[in-house]
Structure formats: C-alpha cells, structure tokens
Structure 1
C-alpha cells in the first residue's frame, strides 16, 4: 500500500467508505478511476471493505488488463461511461438498497425514474436514466450504457442498482449517496402526495445565486 499512487489510495478509501456506510453488501459493488493513461478498477470477488490500493486491476482504455488481479465483471460498465464522458474520471457502482429497490419497480419512466424531490438531488444527480435489464457482466449492453451516459452521469440498471460518474471518486460517491437518499424518500412518501421541484426550480439551481451587495459598497456594473 505504501507504494500505491494517489488514485489507487482514493479507490481504497472510497471503497471502504461505501462498505462502511452500508451502500454495498457481501462482495457487491465496484469502482473505477482514471490514472493517467490507465484505468484502475476494483478486482472481482473482493468485498469493498477489503479492497487494497496495492491490489487493483490495471486496464488500458480498451479494457485490456495490464497488471493486477482480474477486474470486476462489470468493467464494461465503467469503461463505457468513461469512454463516453471524457470530462469525468471516476465511476461508482453499488447495489445500495433503496436505489436497487427502485430499479425493481414496474412502470418507471426510463428518462425520469426518480422525481427531483430535493434541491440536492437536482444539483448532484440531475437527470437520471433507467436502463433495461442486463445480466451482470453482459457486455452486449455496452451501446445502451454509452447512449444513456451521453445524456446523464447517473444511471440506474433495472433490477440491479445505480452507476454514477463524477469528476473524481468523492464527487461520484456524493452523487450516489444523494440518489440513494432520494430513493429512500421516494419510498417513505409512497401513498402520499408529493411536490417535486418544478422544471423552473430545477433550472434555477443551475444558475449562480444572486449575492446582495455588501453594505456600504457600490455594486459592480
């Protein structure tokens, strides 16, 4: 571990945080992060609570293993998202219970499976896309993942769980936790009338807030 670089250490730290916060169980969940020209992934068959920075899978951009143990069988998900969104550098995939439960519901809108119940969901998750069912590790769904990732950095795999990308692993985890929390609110409010944010309110959150001028200071023109 002492010889691991910053990217590998971040994978270990975030993997342990996901496990500690109950967002993964058993040996489920996986992470990926860009490290220069390479992509680091959590290995297959390892609990996120036991991931070690010095024992990660190292792949090239095409998915060829360069070093380390065999990667998670969900590597195609991570590679598809990172290939589609070059401005993003990290992907987190979990089977967190509320988001996974949401993915099992019938009648969900593929383009908006979860309403914007809070401002933080709108800001950190934004558009959420629901993908059709894919068997774990089924890389034949790569094109579907790429198409959805082009529209949103947050995806929900039907009967499976969330896949969320960010500029770094901390940002991806923040968004994933917000998605999980909003899914929990969705179930807590089931059977009650809710008031999701309007499209206008969601759009306003994308604008910087107007700051009042400091007392005694003339506002800039």
Structure 2
C-alpha cells in the first residue's frame, strides 16, 4: 500500500499555484535570467515554500517547489531547494514581519554589484527611500555556503536590500508584491545611475520624510 502523505509535508494546490505565479511574475519583470534567482514564502505552521535548486523561475511549476521547516531548515517533501536556502530561512526567522525573500539578478543592479556599489547614492528616485531604504553591501562569498548565508542574514537584520558583490541582490517583503516592488524600484535607480547624465540625487533633507512615509 502506498504511504499516504501527511498534511505536514503537503500544501494545498491553490497555495502552490500562488507561489508559482509569483515566481513567474519575478521573471516577467526581468529580475532574473534562467536559473539565476530564487524565491521563498512563509506559509505558516513553521513552514516555507522555496523554489527548487536550478529551477527557472519563469518556467517553474508545482513539481519544482520545496517545502521546508523554518526551525529545522529541513526539506520535508523530497525536493531539493535552492542552494541559498540557509539565508532565505534565516531572514524569515529573524524578520517575522517579512514573509517573502527574493534573490535576484537584474541587469543594472547586478552590474553595480560587479563594480563598487558603495560609491553610489541610490536615492535618485523617491521610491528608494520610501520602499527600499539604504542597501547593505556584502563582500563576495561562494554561493550556497554558510559564510555567505551568515553575512546575508546579518545584513538583512536591519536592511531590506543587500548587494552581493559579483553575485546579485537579496530583498524581502511583507508579501510578493512588496518584495518585487523593492527589486523593481532598486533596478530602476541603478539604471538611472549607470545610464543617466549628471544625475542629482535627492537632497539630504528630503530623505527623512520619505522614509517616514514608507513606514506609514
């Protein structure tokens, strides 16, 4: 007799489809290429959904979704989750107000990650101080390793965006739209910085009220 799966290691098909649709949306906004990014979503009952290792978010289906326990960080449905599972779950555990973690590799933001990210003032559009805030910058570590995970988790303790040198970016959000919006607006700011002429960032007096508006 085939063993029946428990309710712990299965997820309602509608919930899976919501996650799959969000993965496709990440790709539609040009935030990833092929297998370059990954997504996670807190679903309650000490569990999170994660995109499977080497999956293409733009073509993801329900068979490529891993279910992981937050506390143990163990996959409970037999799938192989993204190699960056440690920082996904670590961020979700330390930031209870955030339910989504997105690791992305949009063109302009990644170009900046491959140069000197600390030379830029990213407050060139109001959406950065309102929605994104100041990004953390993390020195290069081998992807999928414990040192990288620990650096990302620590940086995301008090940041909503992290630039991973020569790798990509990580952001988090209350829901899918919040995380995707942060990534899209940050990519726009990076595009302006790299392609604009004589860019003038917002003045320092403009930033505090915009940040306050974002928290409202």
Residues 55 and 68 in structure 1, CA contact (< 8 A), matched pair in contact too: no
* Equivalent residues in 2 for 1:16-165, closer than 5 Å: 16-36=24-44, 37-61=46-70, 62-106=72-116, 108-109=117-118, 113-165=120-172
| In 2: Cα distance, 1:208 partner to 1:39 partner | 30
Q: 1:3: how far off?
A: 4.5
Instruction: Tell me, in whole angstroms, the C-alpha distance in 1 between the residues paired with 2:35 and 2:181.
Output: 21
Indicate how the Cα distance of structure 1 residues 33 and 160 shifts in structure 2: closer, same or farther if over 3 A, else same: same
- Kindly provide the CA deviation profile for residues 181-221 of structure 1, in whole angstroms up to 9, marking residues without a partner as x: 111111012xx432211232111113459xxxxxxxxxxxx
Task: Report the 3-state secondary structure (helix = DSSP H, G, I; strand = E; otherwise coil) of the residue aligned with 1:187.
Answer: helix
1:216 corresponds in structure 2 to none
1:57–1:71: 8 Å Cα contact kept in structure 2? Answer: yes
Aligned equivalent of 1:195, options 190, 200, 215: 200
Runs ≥4 in structure 1, deviation > 3 angstroms?
206-209
The Cα shift of 1:28 comes to 1.5
1:166 and 1:172 in contact (8 A); partners too:
yes
> How far apart in 1 are the matches of 2:124 and 2:18?
31
TM-score (norm 2): 0.86
Superposition RMSD on alpha carbons, in Å? 2.0
1:84 Cα offset (Å): 2.1
> In structure 2, what is the Cα distance between the partners aligned to 1:38 and 1:199?
41
* Contact kept in structure 1, 2:130 and 2:212, CA below 8 Å: no
The 1:207/1:140 distance shift into structure 2, 3 A limit, reads closer
Measured after TM superposition, the shift of residue 160 of structure 1 is 1.0
